Amino acid sequence: MISTSARLLHLLSLLSAQPSWTCRELAERIAVNERTVRRDVARLRELGYGIESDPGPWGGYSLGGGTRIPPLVLDDEEALAVAVGLREAALSGVLGSDQAALSALLKLRQALQPRVAGRLGEMDSAFVHTTRPGRPQIAPDMLLELVAACRGGERVRLSYRDREGRATDRDADPYRLVHTGRHWYFVARDVARDEWRTFRADRVERIRPTGHAVELVDPPDPALLVSDSLAGGRYPLYARIRLPLPMEQALRLIPPTIGTHRPEGPEATVVDIGGPDANGLAGYLLGLATPLRVLAPDEVREALVRRARELVEDNMDGRLP
């Protein structure tokens, strides 16, 4: 049995989908009895929805003329709750589409009363998100500025610090934000280089509009661009491993942003992964906690065996020879 609120939303959706429904039709679609339908219609009317009814055996229910569904009106507490929920959804990726959550949050913030926006800002400064060691955080306000730039169709000037810590100012034509599960990436056309680039969003220190309107020509697939950029990065050392998993499962275990995959039959996948050194790669592979075979190079295989032996010895506790 679905909840009352979910049932009311379903009923509203049905009433919006066609001009008229009989009580029996609605009951069959929602999988309830006709008495429940009549009771739910009464609840919707109490909430302000103009639902009309025609008496008789051939009568039915329909939404009133004019606006199909009344405009959404939120009080201060409701608006704050929605804003906080969208903010958390964007930062956690729980909805899958982080871009949609950010876009909705941007629209809502623009419509918030100053007193509510101020309270949201206070909460932003008080909330702290735990992250994995070494993973930088990005301020929600910067995310909103970047998504606003993607929606604005205007060239921007980025104050950006690269992986070496060098600060530069770059003119860029914004396109999309991409979240990989580890970092946010700002996809834009680098004007000086005349090529599409990915910028780590947590390294953007400032973004300023230039007033120059742009029309993007043949933009790339943003997720694919980020994936290729990360998987094709320059590492001092690469390892090739074989996972006894189909391609789909291997991609869930090692994302395409980390390795380059190719199937080896229906039940195995070969993955190339880059890392700083043999010991670092061995640690990553050990952390996968899944059967695998290092195909190359020997130094990574040896490092993996050595770390596995050390782990076993540390947990023997003298109980086995």
CA distance 86 to 84: 5
Strands of 237-243's sheet, edge to edge?
259-263, 269-275, 237-243, 293-296
Q: Looking at residue 101, what is its pLDDT?
A: 66
pLDDT digits (tens, 9 = 90+) for 99-134: 566 666 766 766 677 777 776 666 655 554 544 444
Q: Looking at residue 295, what is its pLDDT?
A: 95
Cβ atoms of 153 and 214 closer than 8 Å: yes
CA distance 293 to 267: 14
Q: Which of 14 and 74 is assigned the larger pLDDT? A: 14
pLDDT band at residue 67 using 50, 70 and 90 as cut-offs: very low
pLDDT band at residue 66 using 50, 70 and 90 as cut-offs: very low
For the chain, the three-class secondary structure string (H helix, E strand, C coil) is CCCHHHHHHHHHHHHHHCCCECHHHHHHHHCCCHHHHHHHHHHHHHCCCCEEECCCCCCCEEECCCCCCCCCCCCHHHHHHHHHHHHHHHHHCCCCCHHHHHHHHHHHHHHCCHHHHHHHHHHHHHCCCCCCCCCCCCCHHHHHHHHHHHHHCEEEEEEEECCCCCEEEEEEEEEEEEECCCCEEEEEEECCCCEEEEEEHHHEEEEEEEEEECCCCCCCCHHHHHHHHHHCCCCCEEEEEEECCCHHHHHHHCCCCCEEEEECCCCCEEEEEEECCHHHHHHHHHHCCCCCEEEECHHHHHHHHHHHHHHHHHCCCCCCC
CA distance 148 to 132: 28
Does residue 50 carry a pLDDT above 60?
yes
pLDDT band at residue 296 using 50, 70 and 90 as cut-offs: very high
**Amino acid letter for position 41:** V
pLDDT digits (tens, 9 = 90+) for 224-238: 788 777 765 567 788
Q: Looking at residue 19, what is its pLDDT?
A: 74
pLDDT digits (tens, 9 = 90+) for 135-151: 556 776 787 788 788 87
Rounded average pLDDT over 78-84: 70
Rounded average pLDDT over 239-257: 88
Q: Looking at residue 36, what is its pLDDT?
A: 92
Q: Which of 26 and 103 is assigned the larger pLDDT? A: 26
Give the range with max mean pLDDT: 66-70, 71-75, 107-111, 143-147.
143-147
Does residue 96 carry a pLDDT above 60?
no
Rounded average pLDDT over 313-321: 68
